[in-house]
Structure 1
Amino acid sequence: MLGMVDRTSPVPLYYQIAQALRERIKKGEWLPGHRVPPEHELTQEFGVSRHTIRQALASLERDGLIYRQAGLGTFVRSEKYSYPLSFLQGFTEQMEERGLKPSSRVLTLQKRLPEPFLRSSLALPVGREVYELKRLRLANCEPIALETMFLPVTLVPGLEQKDLEKISIYRFVEDDLGLKIIGATQTIEAERPPEDVARFLGLPVDGLTLRMKNVTYLENMRPLCFVDCYYRADRYIFTVSMPRRKTV
């Protein structure tokens, strides 16, 4: 059936088409993972130019509804992942709780001396080394976050001997080392990521991330780690439960 567009309407054609395609996703006609028809098929269906179709698809991509894979085509995204901020969980725990398969790609693991900001955040004396662990975090093989974690070397002995593409750091600390994690402080900001971060996450040049910085604490408020993590804003949302506080 020929897609309907109203050429007498002041609404741009690309926007009308984008809305029609959104409806297909919303109604479940196109399910997550569905391959979007090629541009030439959509130009025939809607009777418009390829440029107009590209504008419509770009609109859906900006909204996080579809994504492109080089050489394979364009596909409908899954729903966004929700991370509640009312309690502390690691990435592995978050994904498993949602029935997803978490995995990681280790990009960097090295020992080094921390700069003053890191040393202060981790309450370390001068000369004490940290592990710098950078991992691409995936859910069902899809890149979701790029995480850099800094941990005092003396707190996590043997870290480099672990399979860091599979294990949860929080579980390693609690189950293997017998330490108790009590909580964290976090800040979250919306940011356009650096070019290398966008590339790892598969984001377009104008893509957005939610950048979370986190200091996790053990008992007696001893810092365990400092985490700097870029989450894909088109795949992730943070939710907060807030009790009412009435002012007098």
Structure 2
Amino acid sequence: MPPKSARTPVWKSIATALTRDITEGRYGPGDKLPTEADLSARFGVNRHTVRHALKAMAEGGLVHARRGAGVFVTLTPTDYPIGKRVRFHRNIEQAGRLPGKEVLYFETRNPDAEEAEALDLPTDGRVHVYGGRSLADDTPIAVFRSVFPAHRFPDLTDRLDRLRSVTAALRECGVPDYTRAWTRLTAQRATTTQALHLRLSEGDPILRTVGVNIDPDGAPIEFGTSWFAGDRVTLTLNDTP
């Protein structure tokens, strides 16, 4: 009798089918896959078999699990240079991605001690605060907070709301160029709010950058903090002007 042909393990067939769904664009980078229960129903198997398939895909770097959130298609991290000129749109475009920004809030308030020191504010100084979310290919990669001296740029929030660009708004305010004076990088865990904005789970790794931008005369004009999703961005140090 001819030998029986070896059967493909069911978990491997499931992994192949899901991989085909990803390569053919049904699920893109950053998308969440159906739940184990949904996949069990789709393929007519138990959850252990589905879990085996997802584990194999994760070992191959195709997907990754987020505790309490599910299994997601792996993103190719976006290279994001941190140097003398940090320009979000240019950095994302140079990485071959489509940049986007969403405004979360504007406010004018008293500065805290760190903001007042970073911006060298007078004792009665106020600040404009611009908070938002940065995206690459419609996927959130960071939330940010930019703080500006209100006495120098009294109508900056109106310009930011209209232009949605810090560079363009500052140019209208008479600052033709600005550069980064210093940057600090720190690894953190996502808070509940940060996780919500970045589509992460609370406690997932994020990278925080804190920096000050200065005008051509060396005066501080922006104190910025960004929180990047740790698996979506590769921060690179670049001293090129």
User: What's the TM-score once normalised by structure 2's chain length?
Assistant: 0.73
User: What's the TM-score once normalised by structure 1's chain length?
Assistant: 0.71
Contact 1:188 1:210 in 2 (8 A): yes
* Structure 2, gaps ≥5 residues long: 1-5
2:177 to 172, 177, 180: 180
Secondary structure in structure 2 of the residue aligned to 1:220:
coil
Secondary structure in structure 1 of the residue aligned to 2:170:
helix
Which residue type is aligned with residue 50 of structure 1? R
Aligned 1:113-152 pairs, distance under 5 A:
113-152=110-149
Q: Structure 2 CA distance, aligned partners of 1:96 and 1:147?
A: 19
Specify the alignment match of 1:235 in structure 2.
Answer: 232
Offset at 1:124? 0.6
Secondary structure in structure 1 of the residue aligned to 2:90:
helix
Q: Structure 2 CA distance, aligned partners of 1:85 and 1:110?
A: 27
Specify the alignment match of 2:159 in structure 1.
Answer: 162
Contact 1:106 1:165 in 2 (8 A): no
Identify if the C-alpha distance between structure 1 residues 100 and 197 changes in structure 2 by more than 3 Å, giving closer, same or farther: same
Q: Structure 1 CA distance, aligned partners of 2:86 and 2:156?
A: 20
Secondary structure in structure 2 of the residue aligned to 1:126:
coil
Q: Structure 2 CA distance, aligned partners of 1:224 and 1:126?
A: 16
Identify if the C-alpha distance between structure 1 residues 129 and 37 changes in structure 2 by more than 3 Å, giving closer, same or farther: closer
1:33 to 22, 28, 31: 28
Identify if the C-alpha distance between structure 1 residues 80 and 149 changes in structure 2 by more than 3 Å, giving closer, same or farther: same
Specify the alignment match of 1:197 in structure 2.
Answer: 194
Offset at 1:231? 0.3
Q: Structure 2 CA distance, aligned partners of 1:101 and 1:165?
A: 20
Question: Is the aligned partner of 1:50 residue 2:23?
Answer: no
Question: Is the aligned partner of 1:214 residue 2:211?
Answer: yes
Contact 2:127 2:147 in 1 (8 A): yes
Which residue type is aligned with residue 33 of structure 1? G
Identify if the C-alpha distance between structure 1 residues 241 and 141 changes in structure 2 by more than 3 Å, giving closer, same or farther: closer
Offset at 1:53? 3.5
Identity over aligned residues, as a percent? Answer: 26
Q: Structure 1 CA distance, aligned partners of 2:120 and 2:159?
A: 25
Offset at 1:74? 6.0
RMSD: 4.0
Contact 2:85 2:180 in 1 (8 A): yes
Contact 1:174 1:181 in 2 (8 A): no
Contact 2:188 2:205 in 1 (8 A): yes
Q: Structure 2 CA distance, aligned partners of 1:116 and 1:41?
A: 51
Offset at 1:66? 5.0
Identify if the C-alpha distance between structure 1 residues 57 and 136 changes in structure 2 by more than 3 Å, giving closer, same or farther: farther
Question: Is the aligned partner of 1:101 residue 2:103?
Answer: no
Q: Structure 2 CA distance, aligned partners of 1:156 and 1:144?
A: 28
Contact 2:141 2:228 in 1 (8 A): yes
Which residue type is aligned with residue 184 of structure 2? T
Specify the alignment match of 1:245 in structure 2.
Answer: none
Identify if the C-alpha distance between structure 1 residues 56 and 187 changes in structure 2 by more than 3 Å, giving closer, same or farther: farther
Q: Structure 1 CA distance, aligned partners of 2:146 and 2:180?
A: 16
Q: Structure 1 CA distance, aligned partners of 2:99 and 2:43?
A: 40
Identify if the C-alpha distance between structure 1 residues 84 and 130 changes in structure 2 by more than 3 Å, giving closer, same or farther: same
Q: Structure 1 CA distance, aligned partners of 2:200 and 2:178?
A: 33
